[in-house]
Structure 1
């Protein structure tokens, strides 16, 4: 994994990604168009009977992880996310959800098999993210990462995990000295963009999120370190982003190392 740190180049002329809505875990998802697709499902739209059916698709590792989650809302979001991933990836591969077998790419940091998730026997790339209330699944022909987050109650208190400039922007927004967005919105933009990028490169939070500057601004897309990062349209109270390998998905400008 490169030791370079990156500053994103925003593309204000781009558009945020509008995800397809997965109406039910039991419905076939709409086919993706182009290089990648993103699907969204609201967790409160999944009834207990549907979730019970989807639980039968999960493998032993997924069931064990779900059982380890103490908070019921987190456990439910995890199960819905993995059911949705099996439905979306299975449809792309022509498989039933329970026939999808998960694996892992090698970690770019240490080479061990705990990098990006993958479907065994397929060259399709995917990523999933969940938070109480919302689930996102992304599928692409290139490495991809996706993240969805709820707005925090106190963004200034936790902004220190981000790049110092992002932390300063969030603090300024909270103090009313920076125009263009509430502190909660700015934090969630930066965090979702950063985590989508780190998930995409396959190292996740094994790389400190304060190293790379993704920005808190309202530009809906940016290039960083050879990746394209787009905001994803989600309901009020949430923020989301998807990162896809290759700078040309959002425009001609690549991120610049600092």
Structure 2
């Protein structure tokens, strides 16, 4: 993949995506198309998933998912991972008429090296999907074209993390922290930039194999933008979080 830098073009006329709510594992999620790309997006509040429902969701997970979940030391993070993967199985299964426990995960080829560790996929289907989890909130998306989603909780110290982003985004976040930009909303600006960057890199399928310094997605409040054949939209999530979705155009 090219290592050249790129800069997104903001679109203030765009509309942030309002996800459907997935409140239970006991019913079938009804896909709600958001765009002409067959896009459906669901938000899950982890606090609303009852323990007995999570037990059902756990029973759908494969051995690799169970092993990955066991690596989380913090129970909160382990629970979020389990809910996210159970939700993805439920949504993808409903979209492909497959029982959630029968969904088989695979990987597309990596665009950087060609090895099979790129964007995740559901084997035997043409559906594309993406999921993201952070303490408290989970996003799952399905589409007819490559898609990436990311949801992030606002960090306590955004300036300590800002250096991982594009230099211009770092400067904007630091200016916000000093109070010279945006009334000091540094955490909001960081989460915008990071969720947009993560969604874009997930959609491409290379993840952090591409340096986040290379792409400027912006910290501004424009709800949409375009970059190298991708359309990015912010996603409406509860206060204290930020989220974005990238869809191949």
Taking structure 1 as the reference length, the TM-score comes to: 0.94
Show the counterpart of 1:155.
158
Decide whether the 8 Å contact of 2:3 with 2:214 is kept in 1: no
Post-superposition shift, 1:128?
Answer: 0.3
| 1:231 paired to 2:234 | yes
Match for residue 253 of structure 1? none
CA distance in structure 1 between the partners assigned to 2:41 and 2:58 by the alignment: 22
Stretches of structure 2 that go unaligned for 5 or more consecutive residues are none
Deviation at 1:26, TM superposition (A): 2.0
Aligned to 1:106: 109
Structure 1 segments (4+ residues) deviating >6 Å: none
Aligned to 1:185: 188
Q: Please list, as runs of the form range in 1=range in 2, the aligned pairs for 1:59-208 lying within 5 A after superposition.
A: 59-179=62-182, 182-208=185-211
Give the corresponding residue for 1:252: none
Tell me how far apart the structure 1 counterparts of residues 88 and 138 of structure 2 sit (CA, whole Å).
10
Indicate conservation of the 8 Å contact 2:178/2:184, yes or no: no
Partners of 1:130 and 1:230 in 2: CA distance: 18
| CA-CA distance at 1:4 after TM superposition | 2.5
- 2:40 match: 37
Give the whole-Å Cα distance in 1 for the aligned partners of 2:194 and 2:17.
Answer: 17
Q: Please give the alpha-carbon distance, in whole angstroms, between the structure 2 residues aligned to 1:64 and 1:113.
A: 20
Per-residue Cα deviation, 1:41-85 (whole angstroms, up to 9, x for no partner): 000001111000110000000000001111100100000000000
Asked if 2 retains the 8 angstrom alpha-carbon contact of 1:180 and 1:217, the reply is: no
Alignment partner of 1:54 out of 57, 70, 80: 57
For 1:42 and 1:80, locate their aligned partners in 2 and report how far apart those are by CA, in whole Å.
10
- Distance in 2 (CA, whole Å) between partners of 1:139 and 1:160 is 31
Q: Which residue of 1 aligns with 2:8?
A: 8
Mapped contact 2:153–2:191 kept (Cα < 8 A): yes
Q: CA deviation at 1:32?
A: 2.8
CA distance, structure 1, for counterparts of residue 232 and residue 184 of structure 2: 19
TM-score normalized by structure 2?
0.97
CA distance in 2 between counterparts of 1:137 and 1:162 reads 24
For structure 1, the residue ranges without an aligned partner over 5 or more in a row are 247-258
